[in-house]
Amino acid sequence: MENINPEIEQSWKVVLLKEFNKDYFIKLKQFLLDEKKHHSIYPKGKDIFNAFNYTSFDRVKVVILGQDPYHGMGQAHGLSFSVPDGVKQPPSLKNIFKEIASDLNLPLPETGNLSPWATQGVLLLNATLSVRVKQAGSHQKKGWEEFTDSVIQNISQKKEGVIFLLWGRFAQDKAELIDKNKHHILTAPHPSPFSVYRGFFGCKHFSKTNKLLAEQGLKEIDWKI
């Protein structure tokens, strides 16, 4: 499965080089090879590292952390919460757009493709980067979490002033990996229909993020899709 061999943007390849040679990553690669023999895996191999390929290490200003890729056909394309053009918006993504509309007085978009955020420096990172078709969480605890924890730690250690948007308990547990003296952490309930009314609606994370960027003299994110 040659496309699991990290075809990853060069600045990330430098930052993460040690990870690719660790035992857990070698085992993860073999697991994915075995999985692909018997199951459909999402996203496609070429898209697994899209979060990194769209947002180089040097350009990371904001991190939005998800848990798993979508497990329905055609949904996952390597960016957390995002779906490709032409694919129906999942409920959590619809709620994200509703909050943006309320927070920034922007129209609800027709597409669910968040790549315009990624190209502006928003790292759309899932903790697990692959999944078996129609089996949520099926690739958890196979090594991906160790890899993405290292991503978060490298950002924390090597950058300053990054804004981490941690939605839901799973994402908020990652706060321990982040140096709070160097970075900004905004937390809220998850945007899923089960928890969105517990405080995701009204969190104003998108205007708050832009305020924090402006205070650092950085270009604000255009959240309009």
What are the mean pLDDT values of the chain's consecutive 10-residue runs (225 residues total)? 63 93 94 93 93 97 96 94 97 98 97 98 97 92 96 98 96 96 97 96 98 98 96
Is-contact 213 114, C-beta < 8 A? Answer: no
Q: Annotated active-site positions, please?
A: 68
Give CA separation, 131 vs 41, 187, 206, in Å. Answer: 6, 26, 29
- 3-33 pLDDT per residue, tens: 445 679 999 999 999 999 899 999 999 999 9
Residue with tokens 């848990």, as numbered in its chain: 67
State residue 1's pLDDT score.
34
- Encoding tokens for residue 225? 């899709």
Full-model pTM: 0.95
